[in-house]
Amino acid sequence: MMVLLFSVLNDEQRALVERIFHEHHIHFQRISFNIVKSEEAAEDVVSTAFIKIMDNIEKISDLPCPQMTAFCVTIVKNASIDVLRQLQQSVHIDYWDNISDDIEDECIHNADVHRLTEVIDQLNPDDRHFIYLRYTLEMGYREIGELLNISEDAAKKRGQRLVKKLQKLYEER
């Protein structure tokens, strides 16, 4: 786009844009960086600012030198502020998208927990007690086996069967 705009300018305007670039682009980049706080964003801002400078080169060429620089600095500042607004709006939108996703995930999780609780309530008291020991108290199969006077392997097998039973009941609901 810059090349296209540059080709539309006459020799005098092209020379003025080149002079502004060589004399001020580092200064413009510093100004932009102080606003946007990102090197990449500052470079983008300066590029955008030079496109705007080329768009307004007729106005700029009519200004005396100090006003010309001030006009270009104003373009850089405004372009920096525009980029900053876009970044903040993007962050704001991302924040609300994440909040929305979190709320949705929490609702789904709560519904799943409620459904699983209803399924566990359908089990007999011994199976509910086993589930309580294993998943609420986070006891190992060896500890459960010792508590229930069964072997560790029997406790594992019982746990596997209960998980399958819960899955089946959960899917039926």
Q: What is the dihedral of CA 56, 61, 66, 67, to 10 degrees?
A: -50
Residue 24 in contact with residue 69, Cβ under 8 Å?
Answer: yes
The whole-number pLDDT of residue 10 equals 87
Domain shared by 133 and 89, yes or no: no
* CATH number of residue 138's parent domain: 1.10.10
Binned at pLDDT 50, 70 and 90, residue 9 comes out as confident
Binned at pLDDT 50, 70 and 90, residue 96 comes out as low
Domain shared by 83 and 127, yes or no: no
In a domain, 108, yes or no: no
Q: What is the pLDDT of residues 74-84, one digit of tens each?
A: 999 999 999 88
Q: Within 10 Å of residue 118's Cβ, how many Cβ atoms? A: 12
In a domain, 105, yes or no: no
* CATH number of residue 47's parent domain: 1.10.1740
Q: Is the pLDDT of residue 88 over 90?
A: no
Average pLDDT, the chain: 84
- Give the percent of the chain with pLDDT over 90: 39
Q: Within 10 Å of residue 26's Cβ, how many Cβ atoms? A: 11
What residues make up the domain containing 30? 11-94
Least confidently predicted of 4-8, 56-60, 65-69, 108-112: 4-8
**CB-neighbour burial class of residue 90 (10 A; exposed 0-12, middle 13-18, buried 19+):** exposed
The whole-number pLDDT of residue 1 equals 47
Domain shared by 21 and 79, yes or no: yes
d(CA 171, CA 109): 16
Domains held by the chain: number: 2
pTM of the predicted structure, to 2 decimals: 0.52
In a domain, 44, yes or no: yes
Residue listed under structure tokens 């998943």 = 135
In a domain, 154, yes or no: yes
What is the average per-residue pLDDT within 20-33? 91
In a domain, 4, yes or no: no
Domain shared by 49 and 85, yes or no: yes
Q: Which of 94, 111, 136 is the last residue of a domain?
A: 94
In a domain, 79, yes or no: yes
Q: What is the pLDDT of residues 122-173, one digit of tens each?
A: 889 999 899 888 888 888 999 999 989 999 999 999 999 999 998 888 888 7
